[in-house]
Structure formats: structure tokens, C-alpha cells
Amino acid sequence: MSTMIAARLHAYGEPMTLDRIPMPQPRSTDVLVEVKACGVVPNLARVVGNFFGTQVPDLKVMPPLPAIFGLDPTGIIAKVGDQVLAVHPGERVYVNPARSCGSCRMCRGGRSLDCPNFTFQGYFGRSQEIMRAYPYGGLSQFITAPATALVKLPDNVSFEAAARFGYLGTAYAAMRKIGVGPGQSLLINGISGQLGLCAALLALAMGATKILGTGRNAALLGRVKALAPQRIEVLAVPNAPLHGGDRPATPDALIVWAKAATDGYGVDGVIDCLPPGAPASAMMRALFCLRRGGRAVNVGAVMETLPVNAFWLMTNRIGLQGSVWFTTAEGEDMAAMAGAGTLDLSVFEHRVSPLSKINESLSGMDDRDGGFTNFVIDPTQVA
Ligand SMILES: [Zn+2]
């Protein structure tokens, strides 16, 4: 029997170990992918440290142990199931980890991200059954996945760059929801982080005319502005609290700045990319930068309750929506944009570690240049 090596977590809070396990075989509609690179999100360190078990004890979200994590795998198709007709061994792919049940009303209607059993392969989710059906995350030499999960990669998109598709796609799907495009202004709250930088790259690709961004690190903000100095404006903001759910009584520096940059109207859209631990007031500030009729979408990790004044929301015709992840079709869009050169992925600095260094990599993720650092594990290196 052929075997492979995978990094497995046997207990939350413990290091992963490299284990030799049986090579999986693809079912009829699945493919087997040899993983060449897997993106690692900084949040994975919190997840394997049992963040959900301690912070959100009522959610049955974690995979059964031993578990193979790894959210953003890229690689080469090694084998296809007997009913897979249009992708072939040897093709380069990103594997969208978004799994759904396939049979509920949402899935049958083509809205798989709205499946009540939505589950991330190699991370966590809402269905233990789906986690058991697709137990291979990208921290493994091979994985199986449905053929419908594959995003084909153009030759000029490296496995390492495509390993960033999780953040990129999350930003892309969010901005599609609020109609980012030519003539539009957009405020990216937290523009220099892992998610915010991806939002900036995609806003440039999607034709947004004016891109405003907040952050706390002036040096990183300067690097973001340098991507497109004519279109990107940045402002370093403190985390001083805003009191109450109404507009601040005294002019707030961010709101004054955003209005001045948009002829006094306020921005057409806001995408909130704030990191875990950011206060609700930091998100409220960005919402107050919207023009009348403006729309905001949240893909950030603010966990505090927002003090939103419903009357303000109504009278100003404000839209506020949450968004999680992206469809395989949206992944194909991004691959096409990167292939054509309209989406520039050259700004990422790939920090590639062998699979054998996964634990060291996870514990070293606080040392990064904001969103410019791209953490990648190479499962072809096991020693
Ligand atoms: Zn479903």
C-alpha cells in the first residue's frame, strides 16, 4: 500500500507531528492532488491552540482528531476519479477548501457558501460528516477534493502566490457584493494586513478609482500607498474609543479625511479587514465614512458587539453585510486576472518552510511585514 506524510494534530494545544499514513484514493467525482505549497493563515496558530474550544465552547466546529490542517493548498493533479471529465493529471490547481453538503436547498440552488453545513476542508466547519469525507488539509503530501473545488492556475501564477488565494478570494467576494469598480471609492479598514493588502490589490484590479486605507503602522501604510500612489491614500489611525452608536460629537480625524477625499460625500464602499482583537469603535469609525446610500461589508475579525444606531442606518440608507470566503467561480476570476496581469501578485514576500518545520512556522507568525509576508508550507520537503 502506498503511503504519504502528513502533519497531524493529535491533541489541541500540542505540536503537530509528521506521520506516515495511507495514500488516499479519489472517489468517482474527486481528484487526488499532490500538494506543492499550502498557505498558512496566522489564525491557524490560535485554532490548533483550541481557541474555539475555550472561547466558543458551544460550537461543534473542530475536525475529529488526529486532524490534518492546511487551508490553502496548491499543487498538481495526480489522479482523477472515473467521473471527472474536464480536468486532468498534471494540471496546476488551487483547491478551494469550501465544502458544502451538495443536497440542501442552498446547494441545489447554486449557493453553496450559504449551505447550513458549510465546512472548510483542513480547518473547521459546521459538519463533522463533511470533515470525515474530506479529512486531508494542505499540510499533507497529497489531498483528495471534489473536482468542483479546483481553480486552474495559469503558468505565470506560482504555487506560493496561489497559496494566498484564501485571503484574496475573501476580499474579492466581499467587494463584488458592494459593487467595487470604475468610478467607485472604497475605504479598506486595515489595509496593510493579510486581508487588507489583498483587498487593495483586487480593488486596483477591479478598477476602483479611489482607494482609502487605514492602519496603525505608518511604514507599512507607506508601502501600500507605493503600489499605486495616484489611487491609494492611507491614514494612520489610533485605536482611541468612540463612545456610543451615534456619529462622534467632535469631528473624527478619519471621517474628516475620508469626506475630504471624496468631495464631501463619503466613500461608496467600506470593506472591513480589521484583525482579531480590534474594538467595535474602530469598525464604527469606518462605517461613518460612508456616503448616504453607501455599503459596507465585513470580512474582518472584530468580535465585539457593534453599537449601530438603527435610525442612522435607515435614514442614511446604509448597507451592512457579512461575507465569508468565495466560490470556485470567483477563484477562477482571480486566476484569470492574475494570468492576464491585471491582478499583480508580485508584491508578496513568500516565507516558505518545509512541512517538517510547521510548528516553528506557526509560532513565528507574529514576525511579519503586515500583509506583505506570505506564509507557505512546502509539503514536498519533509526533512
Ligand atoms: Zn448544502
For residue 365, pLDDT beyond 80: yes
Which neighbouring-strand residues pair with 298? 272, 322
Helix (H/G/I), strand (E/B), else coil: 12:
coil
pTM of the model: 0.95
pLDDT per residue as tens digits for the range 204-244: 999 999 999 999 999 999 999 999 999 999 999 976 555 54
Q: What is the mean pLDDT of the chain?
A: 94
| Amino acid in the structure at residue 17 | T
Cα 79 to middle of ligand 1, angstroms: 26
Q: How is residue 102 written as a grid cell?
A: 451538495
The answer for residues whose C-beta is within 8 angstroms of residue 91's C-beta and 6 or more apart is: 76, 77, 152
Q: What is the model's pLDDT at position 281?
A: 93
Cα 331 to middle of ligand 1, angstroms: 20
Cα 129 to middle of ligand 1, angstroms: 12
Rg, Å, the chain Cα set: 21
pLDDT per residue as tens digits for the range 329-361: 999 999 999 999 999 999 999 999 999 999 999
- Please confirm whether the linkage preceding 66 is cis (ω < 30° from 0): yes
CB atoms within 10 A of CB 144: 22
| Amino acid in the structure at residue 375 | F
Cα 148 to middle of ligand 1, angstroms: 14
- Please confirm whether the linkage preceding 26 is cis (ω < 30° from 0): no
Cβ atoms of 167 and 195 closer than 8 Å:
yes
Q: What is the model's pLDDT at position 297?
A: 98
**Cα–Cα distance measured from residue 359 to residue 48, given in angstroms and rounded to the nearest whole number:** 10
Cα 173 to middle of ligand 1, angstroms: 19
Helix (H/G/I), strand (E/B), else coil: 171:
helix
Cβ atoms of 316 and 308 closer than 8 Å:
no
